[in-house]
A and B are shown apart, each in its own frame.
Chain A
């Protein structure tokens, strides 16, 4: 029971929800799955604006890619054909997040809005160059990376996440590694790598390190080493050698040294896996 909450409103459309947010500015919270607010009650919140009656739960393959409504739960996503994104890697990752019970509560919109540094999803979404669509009276679609580079929490005070688009990347191979105390626990470090190989050369690279313990960071220096090179042991070794220890930090779970060591292992494993998958394809 959260006694500070005095009303639960259930708008039927995004314009109605936006109007309610404006009316109760500063003391209202949106409820998708509601897990975050249930875990971390906030005293300043008096009004809950439930999004259940707004059709935000959908998964569609469109020409631009996989489009996921913000109200879609991870369970719905994993059970749908959306799990086949990244040659099925996305579905396998979804199956390893939290527990089936919590996956029935966690929404994609909630994960994007809370943007917890330990998120399993953010490095993947960012690594796939996802686009986010926000509604503030009209729709605005922007790259997810730009969204997080700005003051996104301020933006979300006057707009609602409608959907996320994960673009289709042909000739792209991806791999993901995570480490947690238990399989169902939050990751203590995760790494997502996606490479596009054209005629044996690495044409595009998108590498992200998450739960480091800060917000996910792009491994630009590593990407620079990879671009234009053939994917082999020498290139992988050179890429791993430039992974800077300054990208990771310490917390009560892991030391900085341990995290950096783990990051190099993850990067090597992911690049090797992509190399081996590429060898199978050709």
Chain B
């Protein structure tokens, strides 16, 4: 079946989508390697998070056909290695990135939170990251990085 949607703001049309495929499988088959591979496969780890119309969801549990006509954003929405987003830079400054597997998902959830609420408190930050499993850092560094962004005046990002 054919799938037409916006991927990171660009109109995208893929012809070879199977009705029973999930979005994660389709994205990776089309070279979106930035979306981390099938990890828990049931939405519990948060590694494959994407934004669906601005809402973070685990792409392994979304039927690909559901995104027809909608907006899908991956970590490429924020930046690339040569042009890091301020949130990505904050993660680096705070040592929030070690193996990096969970980071794209965490960044997207953090970004969605900051868009909705530019000055979240620590509780809100922790709540937004629950559902993202990280086995390296212990979460503190990511929380501090997001807190740094939350302290910026609105629009400074």
Contacts and interface: CB of A to CB of B under 8 A. Distances in A.
A38 B143 CA distance: 31
Interface stretch (B17-25, B87-95, B144-152): B17-25
Contacts, number: 92
B118 interface: no
Contacts of B46: 99, 101
Interface string B62-85: 110110100000000000000000
Interface string A162-203: 000000000000000000000110000000000000000000
A39 interface: yes
Contact of B131 (A8, A48, A100): A100
Contacts of A39: 42, 61
B57 interface: yes
User: Quick one: which of A37, A52, A75, A98 has the most chain B CB within 10 A?
Assistant: A52
Contact of B65 (A8, A104, A184): A8
A73 B52 CA distance: 13
A102 interface: yes
B128 interface: yes
A99 B147 CA distance: 20
What band does the interface of chain A fall in when counting residues whose beta carbon is under 8 Å from B?
20 to 34
A73 B56 CA distance: 12
B19 to A, nearest CB: 4
Interface residues of B, number: 31
Contact of B63 (A38, A183, A184): A38
A64 interface: no
Nearest to B129: A100
B151 to A, nearest CB: 22
Contacts of A35: 43, 61
Nearest to B113: A100
A1 B131 contact: no
A34 B130 contact: no
B18 A99 contact: no
Contacts of A52: 66, 68
Contact of A99 (B20, B63, B130): B130
A251 to B, nearest CB: 20
A100 B65 contact: no
Contacts of A183: 130
Closest 9 CB pairs of A and B: A99-B131, A5-B20, A2-B20, A8-B65, A8-B19, A101-B131, A38-B61, A104-B57, A104-B55
23 contacts: A2-B20, A3-B18, A5-B19, A5-B20, A6-B19, A7-B1, A31-B63, A31-B66, A34-B61, A35-B43, A35-B61, A48-B19, A48-B65, A52-B68, A99-B43, A100-B127, A100-B130, A100-B131, A101-B58, A101-B132, A102-B58, A104-B57, A184-B131
